[in-house]
Amino acid sequence: NAKTAVNSTAVFADVQAIANEFSASEITLKRPGADGVLEDIERHPLELLWQRPNPHMGRSYLMAFWAWSYVLMGKAYLYWVPGGGAIREVWPVPSYMLAPAKDDKAFVQGYWFKPNVTSVAQFIPAEYITYSRSVNPFDPMDGMSFLASALTAIRGDIAASAWNLNFFADNNGVPDGLISVPRDTLDTDLARIRMEIRDFFGGTRRGVAVARAGDMDYKPFGRTQKDAEFLESRRFASQEIGRALGFPDGYWSESANRANAEQARATMIAGAVWPLLVRLAEDLNAQTVPRWYGADDHVEFKDIRPQDRQLKLAEIAAYKDFLTLDEL
């Protein structure tokens, strides 16, 4: 289903937009101070590692890969490579390569790694994997793709795109024109005429038919693009897919002005991107940070949600007025 889904332009554009926004957030590490309030930790080992996860990937790629996996398949994995008693590298792992090893007492005792169908599954202890998954009411051990409810719309969008391609393919549809010859023209003469037209004018390459006068009668049976509401059906499928992923209807609107576009983007980030950042941070805090760094250390991602400047200014002004009245 995931491989099928990315053939839809609507799916690819939506997931790419989520991944791009997701990868823009930076990680911060905090620890409770003397008063119990979380304070930033400068140059924390995990923060430095996150900037350069491994020799072949940067932070942005790592996070974008995680977002693609999570949205398309409902689950995403990070593999922590140890060395000298500490974590040296972190790698994203394709979701189809790993599966939780269930345990009645520990819930997940580890993970089975199998890169392809011919490989022998290898066991990886749980402390080396961060496993993120969406809520799946049918199996709490597994994740459910965000696109599960939109598969019908996705297949319809892909089918419509293929139909549109075939509509404009060579040797498909109605000829561009018809050259009529006398009804009593012999078959050999008709074939010669067709040959001469093709050789001298290239008419048949432009989809021109040659027939005896009165011999051809065309009756259309199929529906045209207009009759099938082709564009409207694709637009509706795009909106349905977008809703499944948390996009407002106006996000991709070509008629939106700047204010509407900014509001749509803010809504998308708040509903489709920020919850994923929170989920990843919480999974890191639950599964990885206590094991490798410290029980008091806490991961957060910087908030990328756009702020309403006018509302912020109004709040500041109200707060200043409150201080003035209080002092009086």
Query: Can you tell me which residue has the tokens 């080992």?
Result: 45
Query: Per the structure block, which two tokens stand in for 201?
Result: 């004018």
Between 2 and 281, the more confident residue is 281
Distance, in Å, from the CA atom of 191 to the CA atom of 206, rounded to the nearest integer, reads: 18
Mean pLDDT for the stretch of residues 178-184: 78
Q: Are strands 27-32 and 38-40 parallel, antiparallel or unpaired?
A: antiparallel
| Residue 165: per-residue pLDDT | 72
Q: What is the pTM of this model?
A: 0.76
Query: Per the structure block, which two tokens stand in for 243?
Result: 């809703």
Distance, in Å, from the CA atom of 19 to the CA atom of 66, rounded to the nearest integer, reads: 8
Reported confidence tier of residue 296, pLDDT bands at 50, 70, 90 = very high
Query: Other CB atoms closer than 10 Å to residue 207's CB: what's the count?
Result: 14
Question: For residue range 9-52, what is the model confidence (pLDDT) as tens digits?
Answer: 889 999 999 999 999 999 999 999 888 888 999 999 999 999 99
| Residue 173: per-residue pLDDT | 58
Distance, in Å, from the CA atom of 292 to the CA atom of 87, rounded to the nearest integer, reads: 7
Mean pLDDT for the stretch of residues 269-273: 93
Query: For residues 150 and 240, is the Cβ–Cβ distance under 8 A?
Result: yes
Question: For residue range 89-133, what is the model confidence (pLDDT) as tens digits?
Answer: 999 999 999 999 987 777 888 999 999 889 999 999 999 999 999
Q: Please tell me the total number of residues recorded for the chain in this structure.
A: 328
Query: For residues 28 and 47, is the Cβ–Cβ distance under 8 A?
Result: yes
| Residue 220: per-residue pLDDT | 56
Output the average pLDDT for the chain: 84
Phi-psi region of 84 (alpha: psi -120 to 50; beta: other; left: phi over 0): left
